[in-house]
Amino acid sequence: MTDIQFQTVAVLGAGTMGAGIAQVCAQAGSRVVLQDIQDAFVQKGLQRVRESLEVGVQKQKVTPELRDQTLARLTVTTDRAAAARTADLVIEAVPEILELKNGLFRELAAVCRPTTVLATNTSSLSLAKVFAGVDGPGRCLGMHFFNPPPIMKLLEVVKLDGTEQATIDAVMAYAVRLGKDPILVKDSPGFASSRLGVCLGLEAIRMLESGVASAEDIDKAMVLGYGHPMGPLKLTDLVGLDVRLAIADYLRKELDHPGFAAPELMRKMVAEGKLGKKSGQGFYKW
Ligand code: CAA
């Protein structure tokens, strides 16, 4: 696979998104190292990839050969520096905590080759802050994938003022190689996707809270009336209430817009551990 620009990719964070991103990159022919801070996390991520590939085979979207090749190209580690040192592209998919992401990129910039492209999968945080103080701003940008990464076609490529055109071109070309249809968005809170998607989800929770209709019927309104593949409450369950709450709080502050104020019901559910699909209970029982 010598025609791939990013032959070696390090994916940092082996949660739902990180594991899915690792799968997508390995499936496209890159050698991928999936890293997380504990062996249990990387093993869980690897298991996710195995299961997803198995479903892909069952649905005849993935051949058994591609499944085997993908798994052969994927390794896991808990050593972040080792994963990043040899990578042509680093994609960070750790929790949405600004200080965590910024610290990680500052550390990695010193370890990686100067030509290594540094990408964050953040769904809404300011890229200027995520990459503040990182050496080589021309190689930094956002690669925002969507859940589930192996299925969703969109890749939101987010550029900073200082991102070099060559970096953007390489990532846009790689996105196509990954089977994605990329869009290019400038660094602004919530980019093009989360700003609209989260707003809809929050309003749906407010409607549920005030008894406008049941969760099923609110979702049905968007599925059958607007042709969405999934209603906003079920989607919030899929993404994770905790993830969306953090985004809402951030956008409320950054955009100073009351539409992003998180509903009390959402805070209560998060405090009770009702995080959606990953915890087994959200607006629906999973
Ligand atoms: N591997 C490969 N292909 C697979 C697969 C797998 N493991 N699992 C399913 N597929 C394929 C299916 O074969 C099917 O393909 P066709 O359309 O060609 O038949 C397609 O994927 C859909 O699969 P299903 O029919 O099994 O499932 P579905 O129709 O119920 O769709 C869904 C599932 C794709 C998740 C759909 O409900 C959907 O699009 N929901 C909305 C998801 C969404 O909005 N995601 C974005 C969340 S926001 C986000 O992620 C941003 C953030 O930062 C938090």
Q: Determine the pLDDT at residue 3.
A: 53
Cα–Cα distance, 207 to 216 (Å, whole number)? 12
Cα–Cα distance, 145 to 121 (Å, whole number)? 7
| Distance of CA 149 from the midpoint of ligand 1 (Å) | 9
Cα–Cα distance, 60 to 71 (Å, whole number)? 17
Query: Within 13 Å and on the Cβ side, how many CA atoms surround 59?
Result: 8
Q: What is the CATH number of domain 194-276?
A: 1.10.1040.10
Q: Determine the pLDDT at residue 15.
A: 94
Cβ-based neighbour number of residue 138 at 10 Å: 14
Strands 140-144 and 154-159: antiparallel
The Cα-based distances of 20 to 24, 192, 207 in angstroms read 6, 21, 32
Cα–Cα distance, 278 to 238 (Å, whole number)? 8
pLDDT digits 0-9 by tens, 17-30: 999 999 999 999 99
The Cα-based distances of 268 to 176, 231, 251 in angstroms read 41, 21, 19
The Cα-based distances of 114 to 66, 135, 139 in angstroms read 32, 8, 8
> What is the CA 281 to chain-centroid distance, rounded?
21
CB 33 within 8 A of CB 75: yes
- The answer, yes or no, to whether any atom of ligand 1 lies below 6 A from the CB of 230, is yes
Residue with tokens 């087994």, as numbered in its chain: 280
**For ligand 1, mutation pick of 49, 53, 59, 277 (most atoms within 8 Å of CB):** 59
- The pLDDT profile of the chain, 286 residues, written as one tens digit per residue, is 345 689 999 999 999 999 999 999 999 999 999 999 999 999 999 999 999 999 999 999 999 999 999 999 999 999 999 999 999 999 999 998 999 999 999 999 999 999 999 999 999 899 999 999 999 999 999 999 999 999 999 999 999 999 999 999 999 999 999 999 999 999 999 999 999 999 999 999 999 999 999 999 999 999 999 999 999 999 999 999 999 999 999 999 999 999 999 999 999 999 999 999 999 999 999 9
Does the predicted TM-score (pTM) go above 0.95? no
| Distance of CA 174 from the midpoint of ligand 1 (Å) | 21
Q: Determine the pLDDT at residue 5.
A: 86
For residue 199, give the 3-state DSSP assignment.
helix
- Give CA torsion, residues 159, 129, 193, 236, to 10 deg: 150
Domain boundaries, the chain: 8-186, 194-276
- The answer, yes or no, to whether any atom of ligand 1 lies below 6 A from the CB of 55, is yes
Q: Could you tell me how many residues make up the chain?
A: 286
- The answer, yes or no, to whether any atom of ligand 1 lies below 6 A from the CB of 166, is no
**Residue spans of alpha helices (H) in the chain:** 16-27, 39-58, 64-73, 80-85, 98-111, 127-130, 165-177, 194-209, 215-226, 232-239, 241-255, 264-271
- The answer, yes or no, to whether any atom of ligand 1 lies below 6 A from the CB of 201, is no
Same fold, 8-186 and 194-276: no
Query: Per DSSP, what are the bridge partners of residue 154?
Result: 181
Q: Provide CB contacts within 8 A for 282, sequence distance 6+.
A: 233, 236, 237, 241, 269, 274, 275, 276
Give the number of the atom of ligand 1 that is nearest the alpha carbon of residue 193.
51
Q: Which CATH superfamily is domain 8-186 in?
A: NAD(P)-binding Rossmann-like Domain (3.40.50.720)
Letter for the amino acid at 40?
A: A
> What is the CA 140 to chain-centroid distance, rounded?
16
- The answer, yes or no, to whether any atom of ligand 1 lies below 6 A from the CB of 146, is yes
- The answer, yes or no, to whether any atom of ligand 1 lies below 6 A from the CB of 285, is no
| Distance of CA 101 from the midpoint of ligand 1 (Å) | 28
Cα–Cα distance, 123 to 197 (Å, whole number)? 11
- The answer, yes or no, to whether any atom of ligand 1 lies below 6 A from the CB of 150, is yes
Cβ-based neighbour number of residue 227 at 10 Å: 7
